[in-house]
Amino acid sequence: MTVLNWPLAIVWVSVAILAFFVFRREGRPGLKAAGQNALGIGKTLMIRLPLALLAASFLVQIVPVETMSKLIGPQSGFGGIVLASLLGGILPGGPMTSFPIAIVFQQSGAGLPQMVALICGWSIFAMHRILSWEAPIMGWRFVALRLATSVTLPVLAAYAAAAIVAIFDA
Amino acid sequence: MKLATTDIVFATLAAVSGTICYVRFGGPTVIDSVESAAILLVEILPQLAAGLLIGGLVTRLVSREKVAAWLGSGSGIKGLLLATLAGTLTPGGPFTSFPMVYALWVAGADAGALIAFISAWSLLGFNRLIVWEIPLLGAHFTLIRYVACLPLPILAGYLARGLVRWPVFRIADPDAVAPAPETTR
């Protein structure tokens, strides 16, 4: 399958290194607390994750993702980049649901800069996250300030990505 | 086991989209979808487990108070760089990061540092990168996307420091906002 093994090796090595530092500072109780923390989040994901993957898998069948992918193809230029940023912003939920949908966009012909704009749009504008976390905790004025500073970022990132590709292809 | 609202939302979403899928395309498509979701789940699990463990271990090593001390309002570019680094290293979902941003705010971090932190966490976060983006979208794409986004949190932080001088964007003291919700979970 598409699983790359070196990132997996890197993460597990980092787990070992971090565990070593925690052990040196706090001994066994520190490791136990860290494990319990991980297990706590893992438990909430245990139900949510399979459901989210299942929902995304069904949604991909229903939503005309392939038609939308054509609108954000490699030839779609600035308009496609802006559209992709907006699409990213309305992708539902966390990475559990958004990334499986993003794969379909990627595989059905979205352009690379447009995909970068999509992922950045999702990271920056995520509606779901603003409504359930940012606004309640930080207030709407803060949300407004952050959106004002970030509104052009996905487009900048898309052009930077296009430039990177151009440099490496040359 | 307790069912949170989010679980019910996802369950409903799966049920509704599954039903539409069955009505429009029939049983085999539904089975295909279930199968591809199961394969994806198995592929993600080892990364997810590692990501969760990293999150748990980092919370033992870095205290909130310590991070807050480094991001005072007069911190200049150093503060923005530090905020970017901290955001990049902060693991977990919004349920860990936003309470942390709020803690930084109360401790005296300015709007620029806070926005650099959130932007870095959402654009550059290692955790999400390792658990989701590399396995699902591929290392090649992820690398290009990551490099393209590297300067953005600093840029957003600078813009915030400029914009905050306008009355419209002047954010209130943290005390004027509702207190942060419980961070258990």
Three-state SS at B22: helix
Residues A96-119: tens digit of each pLDDT:
778 888 888 888 888 899 999 999
Is B54:B90 a contact under the CB 8 Å cutoff? no
Shared domain for A71 and A43, answered yes or no, is: no
Backbone φ and ψ for B157, nearest 5 degrees, come out as -65, -45
Instruction: Test A112 with B144 for CB contact under 8 angstroms.
Output: yes
> What's the count of helices (H) and strands (E) in chain A, helices before strands?
9, 0
Three-state SS at A63: coil
Q: Which residues of B touch A55 (CB under 8 A)?
A: 10, 13-14, 17
Tell me: pLDDT of B181 over 50: no
The total of structural domains in chain B comes to 1
**Helix H or strand E segment including A157:** helix A153-169
Shared domain for A24 and A77, answered yes or no, is: no
Residue B20 CA: distances (Å) to CA of A51, A55, A69, B99, B105: 16, 11, 22, 38, 45
**B88 located within any domain:** yes
More confident residue, B110 or B160: B160
Task: For residue A7, name the pLDDT band (cuts at 50, 70, 90).
Answer: low
Q: Which of these, B162, B61, B132, lies nearest to A100 by C-alpha position? A: B132
Residue A22's domain spans which residues?
1-62
The total of structural domains in chain A comes to 2
Shared domain for A69 and A56, answered yes or no, is: no
Q: Round to whole Å and give the CA distance between B62 and B36.
A: 38
Q: Please work out, in degrees rounded to the nearest 5, the angle formed at the alpha carbon of residue A138 by the alpha carbons of B84 and A83.
A: 70
Residues B115-155: tens digit of each pLDDT:
999 999 999 988 788 878 888 888 889 999 999 999 999 99
Residue B166's domain spans which residues?
62-176
Q: Round to whole Å and give the CA distance between B53 and A34.
A: 7
Q: Hey, is the C-beta of B30 within 8 angstroms of any chain A C-beta?
A: yes
**Shortest Cα distance, chain B CAs vs residue A52, angstroms:** 6
The token pair that represents A162 in the structure block: 């296009």
Q: Round to whole Å and give the CA distance between B86 and B81.
A: 9
